């Protein structure tokens, strides 16, 4: 049966993808209307917006790997065509404005080709549209409703940083296109850095201790008794040979990618869907080990530090660009999950494509006290340790202080050996 399913035609997959775009727009717009915060520029609010920082996951993409002999579908290159309204003039640079660094992770993706001709991990037309829509939501909130941002892009006002992977770079580009509706006269700089120094995701290659601890837990995660038993059952149900290297994260990744783009799934996954989601999240929780402080520190400590530094620099008026009002960070699900864990608001659900964590810095109009408001996918969050959704800055700093690491602290911890498993 699996072979018959594999050979099934995928005629209409491109039109299905565009149908998904329309569905995505409709559902995201209706959700936004239900959950969006009060206007950021409401003159009747006691809080005045000072700074916005957005961490967002890239949009829908091709899978990172196809499950052999069972999950293959036609990932045709026509699924990757950029919508005209996402075109802008941009340049990818290093953090100092120099040439784009080499991208070994991207090069690794290009070493294999999916059935149909596209590469693993490529942003699709649907993914581009999802980020364009997120950009439009930000435009509504920060330009049309509040005039917090200028209507046209200004590099002095908006900072854009991405991991050095094409799907996040293109996602940043598409978000900027939606945010400013292609009304930029200047080239948009998208900053990135070399793989060894990246702190926008848990860097298992650039941090010695994280590589040892994380690699150890990755190897163990599929062998935990409950997960291993379920994995054996789903492999048998799908006809995957026992010796083939698969896990729930891989199965989930391929399943969600195909469903998002209207490509067929094995019928057996209908009954396994919730279990696949649950076990994939269980694996991530085991790998990131949120009960151990050092684990989350190594995963997101430097990124949390940057977010706090941006806030302090804005309040102290020492930002390199004094007019900067928006920091955009184009990242991954593996960034958002540990960030949510560190903030105490992870809901045990995998972040969807184009999910965002937004931090807004406010100043109270009367008392001049600073507050931070955190939202996740458009919903305001009450962080454990905060006395309200508008979290007093000192309380917010206390929440993040348990996991935030300065660059020196991060390097020291990465090179230490006292935390190695005995």
Residue numbers annotated as active site: 58, 333
The whole-angstrom separation of Cα 335 and Cα 113 is 26
Q: Are strands 158-162 and 326-331 parallel, antiparallel or unpaired?
A: parallel
- Looking at the DSSP assignment, which residues form a beta bridge with residue 76? 117
Q: Three-class SS of residue 220?
A: helix
54 within 8 A of 169, measured Cβ to Cβ: no
Half-sphere exposure of 370 (CA within 13 A, CB side): 18
How big is the chain, counted in residues? 422
Paired tokens of 335: 């960034």
* Distance of alpha carbon 364 from alpha carbon 367, whole angstroms: 6
Determine contact, residues 396/372, Cβ cutoff 8 Å: yes
Please state the φ and ψ torsions of residue 181, each to the nearest 5 degrees.
50, 40
Which of 32, 20, 26, 30 has the alpha carbon at shortest distance from 125? 20
Can you name the residues that pair with 159 across neighbouring β-strands?
A: 327
Q: How far apart are CA 19 and CA 12, in angstroms?
A: 10
Tell me the angle at which helices 407-414 and 208-221 cross, rounded to the nearest 10 degrees: 60
Contact 59, 132 (CB under 8 A): no
- Cα–Cα distances (Å) from 275 to 113, 219, 234, 265, 352, in that order, read 29, 20, 10, 16, 17
Q: Which residues, at least 6 apart from 213, have a Cβ–Cβ distance to it below 8 Å?
A: 289, 294, 295, 298, 419, 420, 421
Give the integer Cα–Cα distance in Å for 263 and 75.
9
């Amino acid at each position: 049966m699996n072979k018959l399913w594999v050979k099934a035609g995928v005629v209409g997959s491109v039109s299905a993808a565009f149908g998904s775009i329309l569905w995505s727009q409709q559902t995201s717009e209706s959700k936004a209307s239900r959950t969006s915060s009060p206007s950021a520029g409401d003159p009747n609010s006691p809080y005045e917006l000072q700074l916005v920082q957005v961490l967002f996951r890239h949009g829908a993409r091709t899978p990172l790997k196809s499950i052999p002999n069972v999950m293959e579908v036609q990932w045709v290159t026509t699924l990757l065509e950029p919508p005209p309204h996402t075109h802008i003039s941009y340049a990818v640079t290093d953090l100092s404005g120099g040439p784009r660094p080499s991208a070994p992770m991207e090069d690794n993706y290009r070493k294999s080709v999916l059935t149909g001709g596209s590469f693993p991990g490529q942003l699709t037309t649907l993914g581009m549209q999802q980020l364009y829509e997120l950009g439009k939501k930000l435009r509504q909130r920060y330009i049309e409703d509040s005039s917090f941002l200028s209507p046209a892009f200004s590099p002095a006002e908006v900072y854009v940083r991405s991991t050095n992977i094409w799907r996040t770079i293109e996602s940043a580009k598409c978000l900027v296109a939606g945010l400013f509706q292609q009304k930029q006269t200047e080239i948009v700089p998208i900053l990135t850095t070399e793989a060894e120094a990246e702190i926008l995701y848990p860097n298992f290659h650039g941090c010695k201790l994280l590589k040892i601890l994380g690699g150890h837990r990755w190897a163990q995660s599929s062998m935990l008794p409950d997960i291993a038993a379920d994995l054996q059952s789903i492999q048998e149900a799908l006809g995957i040979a026992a010796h083939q290297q698969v896990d729930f994260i891989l199965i989930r990744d391929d399943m969600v990618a195909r469903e998002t783009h209207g490509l067929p799934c094995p019928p057996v996954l209908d009954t396994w869907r919730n279990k696949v989601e649950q076990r994939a999240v269980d694996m991530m929780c085991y790998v990131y080990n949120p009960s151990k402080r050092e684990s989350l520190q190594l995963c997101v400590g430097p990124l949390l530090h940057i977010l706090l530094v941006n806030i302090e620099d804005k309040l102290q008026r020492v930002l390199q660009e004094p007019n900067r009002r928006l920091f955009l960070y184009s990242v991954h699900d593996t960034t958002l999950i540990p960030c949510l864990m560190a903030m105490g608001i992870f809901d045990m659900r995998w972040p969807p494509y184009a999910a965002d964590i937004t931090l807004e810095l406010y100043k109270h109009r009367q008392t001049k006290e600073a507050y931070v408001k955190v939202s996740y996918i458009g919903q305001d969050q009450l962080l454990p340790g905060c006395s309200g959704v508008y979290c007093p800055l000192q309380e917010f700093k206390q929440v993040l202080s348990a996991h935030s690491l300065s660059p020196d602290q991060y390097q020291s911890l990465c090179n230490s050996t006292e935390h190695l498993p005995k």
